[in-house]
A and B are shown apart, each in its own frame.
Chain A
Amino acid sequence: MSTRIDRRFAATRAQGRAALVTFVMAGDPDAATSLAIVKALPKAGADLIEIGMPFTDPMADGPAIQAAGLRALGAGQTLKKTLAMVRDFRAGDADTPIILMGYYNPIYVYGVERFLADATEAGVDGLIVVDLPPEEDAELCEPALKAGLNFIRLATPTTDDARLPKVLRNTSGFVYYVSVTGITGSAIPDYSKVSGAVARIKKHTDLPIAVGFGVKNAETAEIIARGADGVVVGSALVEAVRTSLDADGKATAKTVDAVVALVSDIAAGVRRATKSAA
């Protein structure tokens, strides 16, 4: 069964380029601004959109995404509102894949069955749940796959060849390769190692490989795009939101534009890395 995510990666591959995957935090700095940002992303050059589900204790995220989550929660964001936001977006865009990314507890408390029903109905295409390794697949991954959603897994430099098959077994949509061991927004990856790592994972799967962690601007995006099927940018966008806010942490007239400008710039970098269609 082909999903929006499969179709989008097929399309960018046909164009001979990597896909740009953009991450923004739902409800940051407030629900209305965040919806406006998400709606503006496809035109700015985003091929896929990851929407962060804020959580009080994001143990794999760095300061930028932690702060974005707390801003969203402070503005009253909930999982229910995040799903409503996807529904609003989907009403005006039938093609851009939406991936919800976050931690398991809010989903568990919402109820797995109810969440999957509501997410599918809202137009969500895939899930990335950071604290659900393959060892816990019965929790959400297996029911999500049954519900027709893609379950995207993170592979890291610590995921060796012996473990990769286990990680990839129930992965669908794409593989998210985390290019450094560390939290989001932290270290600069050794770019020379990224394409080698992608090649290593490709030996185990036909799924597209998107690479994240350490993409900050057009230049870094271009380097990554040369060696991967997708480029993920997150912390840099979330920082663009933060630096646009006023002294009270409220959105300004510049907020949406700041994110759009950065995404446009990064999208241009990704497109510069055009390669011959494989």
Chain B
Amino acid sequence: MSVQTPNSFRTGPDETGHFGIFGGRFVAETLMPLILELEKAYGEAKADPEFHRQMGDYLAHYVGRPSPLYFAERLTEHCGGAKIYLKRDELNHTGAHKVNNVLGQILLAMRMGKKRIIAETGAGQHGVATATLCARFGLKCIVYMGAVDVERQKPNVFRMKMLGAEVVPVQSGARTLKDAMNEALRDWVTNVEDTFYCIGTAAGPHPYPGMVRDFQCVIGRETREQMMEREGRLPDSLVACIGGGSNAIGLFHPFLDDRDVEIYGVEAAGHGISTGEHAASLAGGKPGVLHGNRTYLLMDDDGQITEGHSISAGLDYPGIGPEHSWLHDTGRVKYISATDKEALHAFQLLSQLEGIIPALEPSHAVAKVLELAPQKPKDHLMVVNLCGRGDKDIFTVAEHLGGL
């Protein structure tokens, strides 16, 4: 497929919500007026300095930003190549990058006068972040979570309940993240008057992909500044893991027009792309339409959506944000993948070399750093987004490693 290289990679989406052929507004008519209302409200908020002042204030004093850009000395020594920096978004309040986006959406929901917040969650990180901010601002919070994930991620279910959220186990379909999203959309179709749908990743119908990206871009903007401060220049490469891809687009977007910066997105290869048991939509899927947008999806020949597999519940989604699909087709970002096994190895290695237990999601990114960094010269500056901490994953990892 030949896709024209644009003058800028940072202008999307267009006014109809498209990144090239990807994105769009594929929703039921009942939701269309709500999506148009949201688009308008976000446009106004974006142009309002007071909204940005509020965001900045809570990001600094509640979330704990900026997150450090940390030089991983022992990991660098171990790899024997590029100088590796970790963007420490796992140090945010609630332990992952998810809170950056949720804060933006909750402030927006309050501007719109919405009192009831719904969200979908897979691993539970987005659910926890949403429950946290709903507690902080006194909003009602309902989190849809696949029944299978409720079983797999009990600590996060408990956290959400402690924070006052109602967690609804979703019994439909395959009972995982995609079904949780279906159920959240069904709730929204039913409760159109008072409800705000807080989507957890840079996907869904326009304006969500661009809006969630904008809220996550704080990661990339800080990285630029911090790297200038530390090294006096921009990084040479960026690496981030991708489920829906919000942490990745947040890091990548501010660098997309710096053509010398190599950018790597790491999908979850599960048991391996060739086994069919993976969650790598770009490597193993094709363009289709689901959850309001056109993007690369895992599906069968009849267009039926298939289940993703990954050891990481946060990457276990059969789609990817539409902007990533476009960046893939234009070639601006190189998308690679890491298997469960590679991620588990990276999880242990980073814990032991740096005293940082990463979530299984960014362990996929670290796994590819172990391959990429040794091929680079010693003055190559590589940033990996450590988008979540691993506390939630210790039981999963223990099970795979045969106990502790």
Binary CB contact string for chain A from 73 to 108 against chain B (1 if under 8 A, 0 otherwise): 100001110000000000000000000000111111
Q: Select from chain A the residue with minimum beta-carbon distance to B305.
A: A56
Does any Cβ of A come within 8 Å of B284's Cβ? no
Q: Which of B4-12, B25-33, B261-269, B355-363 touches A?
A: B25-33
B203 to chain A, nearest CB (A): 13
- B33 touching A163, Cβ below 8 Å: yes
Q: Which of A59-67, A222-230, A241-249 touches B?
A: A59-67
Q: Which of B2-45 contact A (CB under 8 A)?
A: 16, 24-34
Does any Cβ of B come within 8 Å of A181's Cβ? yes
- A78 touching B185, Cβ below 8 Å: no
CA distance A251 to B189 in the complex (A): 33
Residues of A close to B190: CB separation below 8 A = 181-183, 186-187
Does any Cβ of B come within 8 Å of A9's Cβ? no
Provided the pairs A106-B303, A136-B26 are in contact, do residues A57 and B173 lie with their beta carbons within 8 angstroms? yes
- B29 touching A156, Cβ below 8 Å: yes
Does any Cβ of A come within 8 Å of B380's Cβ? no
Residues of A close to B181: CB separation below 8 A = 59
Does any Cβ of B come within 8 Å of A132's Cβ? yes
- B302 touching A158, Cβ below 8 Å: no
CA distance A79 to B182 in the complex (A): 21
- A131 touching B302, Cβ below 8 Å: no
- A57 touching B33, Cβ below 8 Å: no
Binary CB contact string for chain B from 158 to 198 against chain A (1 if under 8 A, 0 otherwise): 00000000000000110000110110011001111000000
CA distance A137 to B189 in the complex (A): 21
Does any Cβ of A come within 8 Å of B199's Cβ? no
Q: Which of A161-201 contact B (CB under 8 A)?
A: 163, 167, 178, 181-183, 186-187
Provided the pairs A136-B24, A136-B26, A158-B30 are in contact, do residues A182 and B303 lie with their beta carbons within 8 angstroms? no
Residues of B close to A108: CB separation below 8 A = 288-289, 294, 303
Residues of B close to A56: CB separation below 8 A = 173, 304-305
Does any Cβ of A come within 8 Å of B139's Cβ? no
Does any Cβ of B come within 8 Å of A18's Cβ? no
Does any Cβ of A come within 8 Å of B272's Cβ? no
CA distance A34 to B192 in the complex (A): 35
- B172 touching A63, Cβ below 8 Å: yes
- B29 touching A66, Cβ below 8 Å: no
- A154 touching B28, Cβ below 8 Å: yes
Select one of B30, B172, B178 contacting A156, CB under 8 A: B30
The secondary-structure label for the interface of chain B is mixed
Residues of A close to B16: CB separation below 8 A = 135
B304 to chain A, nearest CB (A): 5
- B186 touching A104, Cβ below 8 Å: no
CA distance A66 to B191 in the complex (A): 20
- B303 touching A57, Cβ below 8 Å: no
Does any Cβ of A come within 8 Å of B80's Cβ? no
Q: Select from chain B the residue with minimum beta-carbon distance to A187.
A: B190
Binary CB contact string for chain A from 131 to 169 against chain B (1 if under 8 A, 0 otherwise): 111011000000000000000011111111001000100
- B173 touching A70, Cβ below 8 Å: yes
B287 to chain A, nearest CB (A): 8
CA distance A107 to B25 in the complex (A): 17
CA distance A76 to B16 in the complex (A): 37
- A66 touching B30, Cβ below 8 Å: no
Residues of A close to B191: CB separation below 8 A = 181
Select one of A62, A78, A157 contacting B186, CB under 8 A: A62
Residues of A close to B32: CB separation below 8 A = 133, 135, 158-159, 163
CA distance A167 to B286 in the complex (A): 30
Residues of B close to A158: CB separation below 8 A = 29-34, 192
Does any Cβ of A come within 8 Å of B290's Cβ? yes
CA distance A183 to B303 in the complex (A): 22
CA distance A135 to B13 in the complex (A): 15
CA distance A266 to B235 in the complex (A): 69
CA distance A182 to B192 in the complex (A): 9
CA distance A244 to B288 in the complex (A): 35
Q: Select from chain B the residue with minimum beta-carbon distance to A104.
A: B289
CA distance A130 to B182 in the complex (A): 14
**21 sample A-B contacts, Cβ–Cβ < 8 Å, listed by A number:** A56-B173, A57-B178, A59-B189, A59-B291, A60-B186, A61-B186, A79-B303, A105-B289, A105-B297, A110-B303, A132-B26, A133-B32, A135-B32, A136-B25, A156-B30, A158-B30, A158-B31, A159-B29, A160-B33, A182-B189, A186-B190
Q: Give 7 new A-B contacts, CB below 8 A, not counting A80-B302, A105-B303.
A: A57-B179, A57-B305, A109-B286, A130-B28, A156-B28, A158-B30, A158-B34
